Structure 1
Amino acid sequence: MLSLYRRYADAILAKLNTNRMLALDVLRGLTITAMILVNNPGSWNYVYSPLLHAQWHGWTITDLIFPFFIVIVGMSLQLSLRQHSLNNKGPLIRQALLRSGKLFGLGLLLALFYYNFRDPEFNYVEDRLLTVRWLGVLQRIGLVYLATVLIVLYFGQRGRLLWLLGLMAVYLAGLWWLPYQDAQGHEFRGLLLFGNSFVAWLDQLVLGANHVYYRSATPFAFDPEGLWSTLPAIASCLTGVLMAQWLQSERSLAQKIRGLLLCGVVAVWLAELWHFSLPVNKSLWTPSFVLLSSGYCAIALAACLWLCDVKGWRRWSAPFVVFGANAILFYLFSAVLARILLMVPVADSSLHGWLYNSVFQPLFGDYNGSLAFAVAFLALSYLLMHWCFKRGLILKV
């Protein structure tokens, strides 16, 4: 069995371009794998706490997944610029606009891809189309990517660092000092409550209460991938750009790993200290959350570099290479499959509910059954991703 896996892993790794950074591909694969795992439990009533987001302030390991992906976008962007001349910015900007538009459009399509076949009174136009959630994971990636491309093209290393700090400062200025009012005329300022912050007020004002994720939040409905919190998300992406610049320097691999590890540990330590005055909060994407998540991402990248390039232990990474090579397709497929499982009616439940209640829960129990469902979902997704990888079918947005 072990020799079979070795041959399989060697075949996967042999397909990689020698110019690619294996550690980054592995980290991307680990991140998207974790994202799909936590998004698809058998039952949301039975999920182990580390696989859930923090209720509000604070964090769990699940809260680090999306910012990891944002940081990786920044790293990939900086590394890909080696292949282009920055003197001719026009084509790069047009390509960024197109890519950003595609990501935003795919996010909207996912938001619209649902029909409740079990409810005879379900009206797709009223219940889905006219209440579509404007922003989401793919939309945020698209907006952050476009902004980061423009900053990287027009500013050097010092300018990028100033943009990173400036975006967080502007975000904090709005969060702490800009006043806002609810429908009754009550004025607020500087709050970081669920449904009551400058972030939430702006989302409801611009996007509308029916077009965000937390529609029932009071006094303001808001979106965890909303408008104002996109500013520090761009800062997260810029931390990835700076990490990639460090990796492109002339230093030795050992120095690069030590530098990433040191910066990561310091960033996490500062974020935890800052948490006492500015809470770490994913939904608000607070600057302390930027520090924490980027710090842990730097530590994770250092670990992958040490394992893959220093120790030469690469075979373990093969499945994550497969997932990471087609991260956007993996995300789209999993989201569509998850919705189909919820849409297909079986008895008085959905196919998703029937599979959990009739197969996984009786075999493994409540919590383990819910986790087993997520693992089975991941395994099914891997079969398709592996098939695509073997045939070189990579979705490039």
Structure 2
Amino acid sequence: MNVNQRIQSVDILRGITIVGMILVNNPGDWSHIYAPLSHAEWHGLTPTDLIFPFFLFIVGISIFYAYKSKQPNASTYKKLGLRSLKLIGLGLVLKAFTPLFPFVQDWEHIRFMGVLQRIGIVFFVTAVLYLNCNWKMLLGVAVTILLGYWLLLGFVPLPNGMAPTFDRASNNWSNYIDLQILGTHMWQPDYDPEGVLGTVSAIATCILGVLVGKLLDTPLKSKTKILFLTGVILLTLGYFWNAYFPINKALWSSSFVLVTAGYGTVILAVIYYIVDVKQWHFGAVFKQVGMNAITIYFLSEFIAKSFYLIPVGADANVHSWLYNTFFSFDGLVAKLSSLCYALVIVLIYVGLGTYLFKKNIFIKV
């Protein structure tokens, strides 16, 4: 889409999401974080747990607009595949890179999955489905994924005969599959938050984004109300399902998909009403960040990882030196110091997003 023809609320929500990602990923001290800025221990939901599903939800909306006039042919599939591979490649670079010689981690320490890898896989599968299915078929695929995931994790015995569980344990199907496929290349030995089965479930999140994109594209005058009602329905279904399949980001449970898509739809409806219907000035800075979302996210992760790995003196690194020198003081609450560090990092990348936007630089991945 031309920059001037874009739906402003979608870009603003994307920008808010990226800002949220940078905020929660860059505390000054991981031991001192305010509860809303940390993930749930296992089951449950915090504001931080909304960030990644919001981004995949927005990817789905973007797929609807970017490919609604495209044909399912070799040329389109080639472009989809290349974009997906770029995202996966960037994700692998983040996992394998080290700022010190030989600049690549040992093979056994490289984590295969990650945020960008999941985005790349989910984007490709959802876009292919969108090109070949009508909205009813897409809804059917999403429902099948969510029901199938619940039935597998909750009722199908593991190959060793153990009863399945939703807990963080060896007899959890998600962990079992990750161990078989990823082996030691996981975030933790007992689970990976971007694991294999969770990535399949995340496709449903993206499909719901496609369907919400279709709602946004309708000429109905009551569009805002329909969006809001859709969000409330998703929330109701998700919280009801929570009693049987707990809301869990690490598993990307079916209830988690519905609840996060519900919150995303409700928030989008509010922003849509303010910006696209009433045309009030709101969130311009978030729109500017959202126009280069992947680039800004990649840079933030690349630099943050480098800061943690580049030593300063005998027992510090760039990150700890900056934090202890400029943010950590006697008498100042540790959590507040940690938050201030994160906010400064956010301001730096917001400034970068604003600069790129004003220079009309939009880096596509």
- TM-score w.r.t. the length of structure 2 is 0.94
Contact 1:168-1:231 within 8 A present in 2 as well: no
Question: Which has the higher mean CA deviation after the structures are superposed, 30-39 or 345-354?
Answer: 345-354
After TM superposition, give the deviation of residue 66 of structure 1 in Å.
Answer: 0.3
Gaps of 5+ in 2: none
The alpha carbon displacement at 1:328 in A equals 0.4
The answer on whether the counterparts of 1:89 and 1:153 sit within 8 Å (CA) in structure 2 is: no
Secondary structure of 1:361's counterpart equals coil
Does 2:44 align with 1:58? yes
Large movers: runs of 4+ above 4 Å: none
> Which residue matches 1:89?
73
User: Any conservation in 2 of the 1:334–1:381 contact (CA below 8 Å)?
Assistant: yes
Q: What are the within-5 Å matches in structure 2 for residues 89-108 of structure 1?
A: 89-108=73-92
Q: What SS does the corresponding residue of 2:3 show, helix, strand or coil? A: coil
SS at match of 1:228: helix
1:164-203 matches, within 5 Å, as 164-180=142-158, 187-196=161-170, 197-203=172-178
Query: Post-superposition shift, 1:340?
Result: 1.9
- Contact 2:67-2:131 within 8 A present in 1 as well: no
1:30 and 1:124 mapped to 2: Cα distance? 32
Shift of 1:114: 2.2
> Match of 1:240?
209
Deviation (angstroms), 1:332: 0.7
Aligned pairs for 1:312-391 within 5 A: 312-314=279-281, 316-347=282-313, 348-362=315-329, 364-391=332-359
TM-aligned CA deviation for residue 307 of structure 1: 1.2
Distance 2:53 2:345 in 1: 23
Query: 1:69 Cα shift?
Result: 0.3
**Cα drift, residue 149 of structure 1:** 1.1
Q: 1:206 to 1:133 in 2, by over 3 A?
A: same
- What is the rounded CA distance, in whole Å, between the counterparts of 1:124 and 1:333 in structure 2? 17
Amino acid at match of 1:392: N
**Alignment partners' CA distance in 1, 2:150 and 2:197:** 10
Secondary structure of 2:283's partner?
helix
CA drift of 1:365 comes to 3.2
Give the equivalent residue in structure 2 for 1:250.
Answer: 219
Deviation string, structure 1 residues 71-119 (Cα, Å, up to 9, x no partner): 000000001124x342x522211111111111111000000122579xx
For 1:375, the aligned partner's letter is L
C-alpha displacement of 1:19: 1.0
What residue in structure 2 maps to residue 269 of structure 1? 236
Other-structure match for 1:301: 268
Q: Give the Cα separation in 2 of the matches to 1:170 and 1:239.
A: 17
**Quick one: distance in 2 between partners of 1:110 and 1:312?**
39
Q: Structure 1 CA distance, aligned partners of 2:347 and 2:47?
A: 21
CA contact 2:70–2:131 (8 Å) conserved in 1 = no
Specify the SS of the correspondent of 1:57: coil
8 Å CA contact 2:99, 2:306 repeated in 1: no
Contact 2:158 2:164 in 1 (8 A): no
Q: 1:286 aligns with which of 247, 253, 259?
A: 253
CA displacement at 1:311 relative to structure 2: 3.0
Q: 2: CA distance between counterparts of 1:161 and 1:190?
A: 27
Shifted more, 330-339 versus 378-387: the winner is 378-387
Deviations 1:316-360 (A, max 9, x none): 311101110000001111011101211222232111111212220
**Distance in 2, Cα, partners of 1:115 & 1:259:** 49
Q: Aligned pairs, how many?
A: 361
- Between the aligned partners of 2:163 and 2:124, the Cα distance in structure 1 is 31
**Alignment partner, residue 36 of structure 1:** 22
Secondary structure in 2 matching 1:47: coil
Q: Distance in 2 between matches of 1:326 and 1:85?
A: 23
Work out the CA distance in 1 between the residues paired with 2:4 and 2:353. 21
**Matched letter for residue 229 of structure 1:** G
> Aligned letter for 1:385?
G
Q: Which residue of 2 aligns with 1:120?
A: none
1:110 matched residue in structure 2 = 94
Tell me how far 1:190 sits from its aligned partner.
Answer: 2.4
- Aligned-partner SS, 1:180: coil
Identity of aligned residues (%): 37
Alignment-mate amino acid for residue 231 of structure 1: V
Per-residue deviation at 1:124? Answer: 7.0
AA partner of residue 215 (structure 2) = W
Counterpart-to-counterpart distance in 2, 1:62 and 1:206: 28
Inter-CA distance 33–21: structure 2 relative to 1 (3 Å threshold): same
Q: Name the structure 2 match of 1:13.
A: none
Does the 8 A contact of 2:150 with 2:245 survive in 1?
Answer: no
**Mind listing any 5+ residue stretches in structure 1 that lack a counterpart?**
1-15, 118-122
Measured in 1, the distance between the counterparts of 2:119 and 2:21 equals: 14
Aligned-CA RMSD value: 1.8
CA contact (8 A) 1:344 1:350 kept: yes
